């Protein structure tokens, strides 16, 4: 297999150009076809619920690049943000809501999709309220505080006949898609084990909601570990059966309510073991897959950009894309075409079942079954 020679960066960039007609994708990137921007009957309106750093730094700028959807509305509890965002993005007053009057969004035909970008403890409430208001929903990850809440969210969207997607942007990223393909086609033989980690050294606000268990549900595992858990799942195409986990804490005052560093071992069918780490005390982000005929993987593996990959044939040669733009454009197409999203609520539920089991293992000191 000659990845670099057969599928050049120049060819792929030509294929990715917005506005292309017939897609001529290379085999390992064929799964990107569904998220190529096209022209639907109309561009769908997106309302961002919560105007924190991710909305302001990533989602709103991405919505300036999307072809199938646009920033139509905002929901915020801060009047000054409402004013500044209205001016910056030309959002009419009738499309600006707060958390109290949010349910009146049901009467607004400008808004088709609600993107929930709030502290984790608020995901369930606003996903359910949005579905009841007749809006399709994208919910940021982690999906909820626990698997039980995820099930409630899925049920509410199903009952309202609304689509629910989780903000797994990496499912639209070319290097990540190549890892998925390699795991499925196994050109390097059977996967034997995986090493993965994700984290950063926390220097932020000691009063941040991320450090309050009631709001976040947990610390580095919820915030960063979900990426490495996802990584081992999409690298194998399998679901883990058991987990063993331990916790380390070097700064108990700062992380008194939430986890700082967690090491875990996921046991997959076929004897595959994934050794993972999540941390608020280490700058790290890799996904290394060990196979019978050679190793491959990504490092950096989980960022908004700059992802790089290696195979036994050399470096992966794919371009960087705006992950959030592709993610939202794909969901808009799914809504328009009544096609299931590749990252549905069930995907978020599965991650939370694993995270719940990791926390159970830490509490019990035992190997726990993932259910």
- Which amino acids are annotated catalytic? 141, 227
Question: Phi and psi (nearest 5°) for 193?
Answer: -160, 165
CB neighbours of 269 closer than 8 A, spacing ≥ 6?
A: 238, 239, 241
Give CA–CA dist 263/190, Å, rounded.
Answer: 24
| DSSP secondary structure code for residue 106 in this structure | G
User: How far is residue 102 CA from its own chain's centroid?
Assistant: 24
Give the containing element (helix H, strand E) for 225: none
Listed residue (48, 58, 59, 6) closest to 28, CA to CA: 6
3-state secondary structure of 292: coil
Q: Residue for token digits 């049901």? A: 106
Q: Which residue blocks in 188-311 are alpha helix, DSSP H?
A: 213-216, 220, 226-236
Listed residue (267, 189, 185, 186) closest to 232, CA to CA: 267
What contacts 24+ positions apart, CB below 8 Å, involve 251-257? Answer: 251/281, 254/202, 254/206, 254/211, 255/211, 255/219, 255/280, 257/211, 257/212, 257/213, 257/219
Residue 92, burial from CB neighbour count under 10 angstroms (0-12, 13-18, 19+): exposed
Question: Phi and psi (nearest 5°) for 262?
Answer: -130, 130
């Amino acid at each position: 297999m000659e990845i670099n020679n057969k599928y050049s960066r120049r060819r792929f960039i030509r294929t990715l150009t917005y506005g292309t007609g017939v897609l001529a994708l290379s085999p390992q990137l064929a799964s990107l076809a569904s998220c190529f921007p096209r022209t639907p009957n109309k561009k769908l309106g997106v309302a961002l619920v919560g105007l924190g750093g991710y909305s302001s730094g990533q989602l709103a700028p991405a919505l300036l690049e999307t072809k199938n959807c646009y920033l139509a509305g905002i929901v915020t509890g801060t009047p000054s943000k409402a004013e500044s965002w209205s001016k910056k993005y030309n959002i009419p007053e009738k499309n600006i809501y707060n958390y109290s009057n949010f349910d009146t969004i049901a009467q607004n035909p400008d808004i088709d999709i609600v993107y929930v970008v709030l502290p984790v403890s608020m995901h369930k409430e606003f996903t359910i309220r949005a579905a009841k208001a007749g809006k399709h929903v994208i919910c940021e990850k982690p999906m909820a505080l626990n698997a039980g809440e995820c099930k409630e969210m899925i049920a509410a969207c199903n009952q309202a006949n609304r689509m629910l997607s989780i903000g797994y942007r990496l499912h639209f990223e070319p290097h990540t898609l190549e890892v998925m393909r390699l795991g499925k086609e196994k050109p390097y033989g059977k996967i034997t084990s995986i090493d993965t980690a994700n984290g950063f050294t926390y220097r932020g606000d000691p009063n941040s909601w991320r450090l309050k268990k009631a709001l976040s549900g947990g610390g580095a595992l919820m915030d960063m570990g979900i990426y490495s858990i996802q990584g081992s799942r999409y690298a194998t195409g399998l679901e883990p059966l058991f987990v063993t986990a331990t916790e380390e804490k070097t700064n108990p005052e700062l992380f008194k309510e939430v986890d700082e560093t967690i090491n875990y071992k996921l046991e997959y069918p076929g004897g595959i073991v994934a050794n993972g780490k999540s941390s608020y005390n280490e700058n790290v982000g890799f996904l290394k897959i060990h196979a019978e005929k050679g190793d491959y993987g990504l490092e950096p593996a989980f960022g908004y950009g700059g992802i790089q990959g290696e195979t036994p044939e050399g470096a992966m040669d794919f371009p960087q894309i705006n992950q959030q733009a592709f993610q939202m454009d794909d969901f808009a197409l799914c809504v328009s075409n009544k096609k299931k999203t590749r990252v549905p609520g069930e995907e978020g539920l599965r991650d939370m079942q694993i995270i719940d089991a990791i926390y159970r293992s830490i509490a019990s000191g035992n190997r726990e079954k993932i259910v």
